[in-house]
Chain A
Amino acid sequence: MTESAMRDQVHPTRFRDLAVTVDFHCHSACTFCIVQEGMNNYRGVPFERFVAIVDENLRSRKYDRVIFTGGEVTLEKSLFQFVALARSSGAFRHVRLQTNGRKLADPAFTHALVEAGIDEFFVSLHGDTADLHDRITQRAGSFDELVRGLAHLATHPVRRITNTVVHRTNIGAFENIVGIAHAHGVSEMEFWNYLPMEDHADERNLIAPLPETMPSLRTALARCAALGIRAVTKYVPRCLLGEHGATLDNSQPDTIIVETFWNEFPRFACLYEGVCEHSDECLGLSHDYVRKFGWEEAALQPVPRTRPWRPRAGGVDGKADETADESAAPHGHPAWEALIAGVPQEAGHLVRVQLNRNQARYTLALPRGGATVELVLAARDQETPALARSASFNIFYTQLKGSYDRADMERLLRAAAERIIAHDDGSLSLDSRKGLVQLARKGKERPAVV
């Protein structure tokens, strides 16, 4: 699967947000860190590249918000340079910092960040006590620093959001975490289910079993609702959120990061994807979860679909694997596609080519209205009735679908047949041994001879 397809599948983007990874250092060592190994290899985005991003966004106005992240972005000396440009350029309405919050314990530093132009702080709060939080960050005192930082932020007119990574260690703490956030004036809380990016076998034993996790999480979400805190959940099955299903938002900002980051991004699946109403926004379970705890086929409660199921972008029916040709035009049978090249756009266009045992079948569409027809090539003979004959083929049509004007359809078929006759130099052939199975069985659609 392509990296871009993977992003589409598991990582639908908030199209108005852009995340820029400024550095890859950290003074915490969270047990669930998804870039623990990456810290050794990844490099932040060079300032020069960010300058180009800003220029581009001034032209395109694609992004409203820039999010500076890392690693721990507050450790990067050039952060203020990035923030200053983001703010002074006018390229973004909002400038967000994604941080573990420890350096915010310094009121002067916090003040400087706000003065530089950061108006949104997204801080990590993983435990409801110093003991738990520090155990998760593996740094004594980190909880106290974070709480002081939240207090300092409360003195500034900035948006405060917390992020809690849901994993085995903090099951049961979520409701009290909401209490801490509320006490510091936090207006939004996000709960992200742990993604085992660098530990797919879960040797760290961090993946939270959902039957244990979800009651605690639902209680926390209920408390958020009662306190007027906007809650967001990620990477949990929507059906297990109960009345809080609307909190699920698996989107992420477009992220400027080394491409190899996506290689390890978890894949997701759900047994009920094709039958559940919510599968368009719900990713289901990570493969790592399924390997460890199973499909949870009894616990998941799919809501019956009211719309036909369609494959997700990047699924096996989409573009698969690396170096996918993103062109919308058919490209699987280039020699056969060339045979019909040159049909005027105003007559129609080629949708696909498929080679059966003994036929080349071209699906053609009229330019307006969506009506389609299949033009069929079979090995040439002189006896079988045909719409036309080229050097090597009998040409038929079948499978007329949709509403169309007869003259428009005739023009398309005539144009396509003419191109085939003109291009057919005898270099392509079809097996003549087998009969025209599909045509012979469709008596009502038997094509007329011209």
Chain B
Amino acid sequence: MTAPAQQMPAPRPLVYAGAEDRYFDYCLQPYDPLRDPRGKLRSESLLWNSLDVARAAPSLDAALGAVQRTAGRDMTVVGVKHQGGRIWWELYFYDRLKEDPAVRAASIIDAVAPWFHVVPRPRETVPYFMFSFDVHPDTADGGRVDVVNLYLPYYEVQGGRSYKLSADRLEMDNVYRFLHPKTEIREIVHDVRQSVFVDFTRVPLSRILLPELIDCNRICVAKKRFADAVYYSGIDVGQLRFFLRTLCYPEPIVAFVEAQRAALDHLRFDVGIDYVMLPDGSLSTTKSSYYCTL
């Protein structure tokens, strides 16, 4: 007698573009769709697909729905994070001019309270223009979020610093800078090479600045506590497919993008790669991510 096959839950439904949809990159900067979006998918479809793949509890859908209602449609940036086959999500909320109380940390934290407890409460006098926190497949089943990230801007230079806020400590986590991939390439190369994690006498620059992704709208170079990172913003669906394949994302995620390629080709995407050099001189991706808006 054989055991019954495990029932796979039905995939979450596709979400199609609407007339009022806005198109934002992961900095919540607007962009023009590459083509007529009618009949095509909203970028949040990538999120729902990743929830399927990560077998996230349905409660997370409900929590994300509450986030969307609170922040407003298209107003939440979601990073789908990948590390060694593990998938989770980071939710980012922008309010550069502190003009919308609905996307202040307190409001979002209250909105998700029925599903999970966000422990840190940022002090609203901190001049953050964005905050974020991670959720995992089971977070919305009464879990807790112990860290909130706060992002502070530079003066004029596009970029910022992020800090990790937990119940009992606040620590600097990351500095990053956005640059134009063509006209500011010297600055990009300089910033990438300024590394304590990679020995560039052993690692070619082309392993980090990938030719397939460098045709993008902006590159972000980040210096983190335990890794360096490069982000490519404004890539097209073909480049997203390359990224997912190259970074060894779970096959159902790659397959989804390939199957829906024509329904995603009006969108731009953003991706990031965290990396360090291993003792043998090889480059190791410690984390990667792709982004959509909810």
A binds B: yes
On A, residues with C-beta under 8 Å from B are 1, 267, 269, 271-275, 285, 287, 290-291, 294-295, 297, 309, 311, 315-317, 319-325, 330-336, 352-357, 427-431, 433-435, 437
CB-CB under 8 A for A324 and B211, given A274-B185, A290-B206: no
Is B217 part of the binding interface, using a Cβ–Cβ cutoff of 8 Å? yes
Closest Cβ of chain A to B259, distance in Å, is: 14
Residue of B nearest to A272 (CB): B185
Contact of B23 among A273, A355, A431 (CB under 8 A): A355
Task: State whether B212 touches A431 (Cβ < 8 A).
Answer: no
Residues of chain B within 8 A (CB-CB) of A316 are 215-217, 234-236, 239
Task: State whether B238 touches A321 (Cβ < 8 A).
Answer: yes
Task: State whether B180 touches A274 (Cβ < 8 A).
Answer: yes
Residue of A nearest to B235 (CB): A316
Closest Cβ of chain A to B196, distance in Å, is: 21
Contact of A334 among B19, B102, B235 (CB under 8 A): B19
Bound together, the chains give a CA A91 to CA B30 distance in angstroms of 50
Enumerate 24 A-B pairs (CB-CB under 8 Å) in ascending A order.
A274-B180, A274-B182, A274-B183, A275-B185, A290-B206, A294-B204, A295-B209, A309-B183, A311-B182, A320-B265, A325-B35, A331-B35, A332-B23, A332-B37, A334-B37, A354-B32, A355-B21, A355-B22, A355-B30, A357-B28, A357-B75, A431-B72, A434-B100, A437-B99
Contact with A along B261-281 (1 / 0, CB 8 A): 110011000000000000000
Chain A interface secondary structure, helix, strand, loop or mixed?
loop
Closest Cβ of chain B to A311, distance in Å, is: 8
Task: State whether A269 touches B19 (Cβ < 8 A).
Answer: no
Given A274-B183, A433-B100, 8 other A-B residues pairs in contact with their CB atoms under 8 A = A269-B211, A271-B185, A275-B182, A311-B182, A321-B265, A331-B36, A428-B19, A437-B97
Residues of chain B within 8 A (CB-CB) of A336 are 19
Contact of A332 among B36, B97, B186 (CB under 8 A): B36
Contact of A295 among B33, B34, B205 (CB under 8 A): B205
Bound together, the chains give a CA A355 to CA B215 distance in angstroms of 24
Contact of A325 among B32, B36, B72 (CB under 8 A): B36
Of the four ranges (under 10, 10 to 19, 20 to 34, 35 or more), the interface on chain B belongs to: 35 or more
Task: State whether A269 touches B37 (Cβ < 8 A).
Answer: no
Bound together, the chains give a CA A322 to CA B266 distance in angstroms of 10
Task: State whether A269 touches B99 (Cβ < 8 A).
Answer: no
Residues of chain A within 8 A (CB-CB) of B236 are 1, 316, 320-321
Is B105 part of the binding interface, using a Cβ–Cβ cutoff of 8 Å? no
Residues of chain B within 8 A (CB-CB) of A323 are 35, 262, 265
Residue of A nearest to B204 (CB): A294
Task: State whether B206 touches A273 (Cβ < 8 A).
Answer: no
Closest Cβ of chain B to A47, distance in Å, is: 35
Bound together, the chains give a CA A432 to CA B161 distance in angstroms of 30
Residues of chain A within 8 A (CB-CB) of B97 are 435, 437
Residue of A nearest to B216 (CB): A316
CB-CB under 8 A for A433 and B19, given A316-B215, A322-B265: no
Residues of chain B within 8 A (CB-CB) of A324 are 34-35
Residue of A nearest to B101 (CB): A433
Residue of A nearest to B180 (CB): A274
Is B20 part of the binding interface, using a Cβ–Cβ cutoff of 8 Å? yes
Closest Cβ of chain A to B243, distance in Å, is: 13
Bound together, the chains give a CA A352 to CA B31 distance in angstroms of 11
What 10 A-B pairs are tightest by C-beta distance, nearest first? A274-B182, A335-B19, A332-B33, A320-B236, A294-B204, A355-B22, A274-B183, A287-B211, A290-B211, A321-B265
Bound together, the chains give a CA A428 to CA B22 distance in angstroms of 12
Is B38 part of the binding interface, using a Cβ–Cβ cutoff of 8 Å? yes
Is B119 part of the binding interface, using a Cβ–Cβ cutoff of 8 Å? no
CB-CB under 8 A for A297 and B34, given A321-B265, A429-B20, A433-B100: no
Task: State whether B265 touches A330 (Cβ < 8 A).
Answer: no
Contact of B209 among A271, A321, A332, A335 (CB under 8 A): A271
Is B181 part of the binding interface, using a Cβ–Cβ cutoff of 8 Å? yes
Task: State whether A267 touches B209 (Cβ < 8 A).
Answer: no
Q: Which of B85-142 contact A (CB under 8 A)?
A: 97, 99-100, 102
Residue of B nearest to A312 (CB): B215
Bound together, the chains give a CA A336 to CA B32 distance in angstroms of 13
Residue of A nearest to B183 (CB): A274
Contact of A333 among B33, B75, B181, B217 (CB under 8 A): B33
Bound together, the chains give a CA A295 to CA B210 distance in angstroms of 10
Residue of A nearest to B238 (CB): A321
Closest Cβ of chain A to B238, distance in Å, is: 5
Q: Which of B9-37 contact A (CB under 8 A)?
A: 19-23, 28, 30, 32-37
Is B64 part of the binding interface, using a Cβ–Cβ cutoff of 8 Å? no
Closest Cβ of chain B to A170, distance in Å, is: 25
CB-CB under 8 A for A354 and B266, given A275-B186, A320-B236: no
Residue of A nearest to B19 (CB): A335
Bound together, the chains give a CA A192 to CA B60 distance in angstroms of 56
Bound together, the chains give a CA A333 to CA B72 distance in angstroms of 19
Bound together, the chains give a CA A325 to CA B32 distance in angstroms of 13
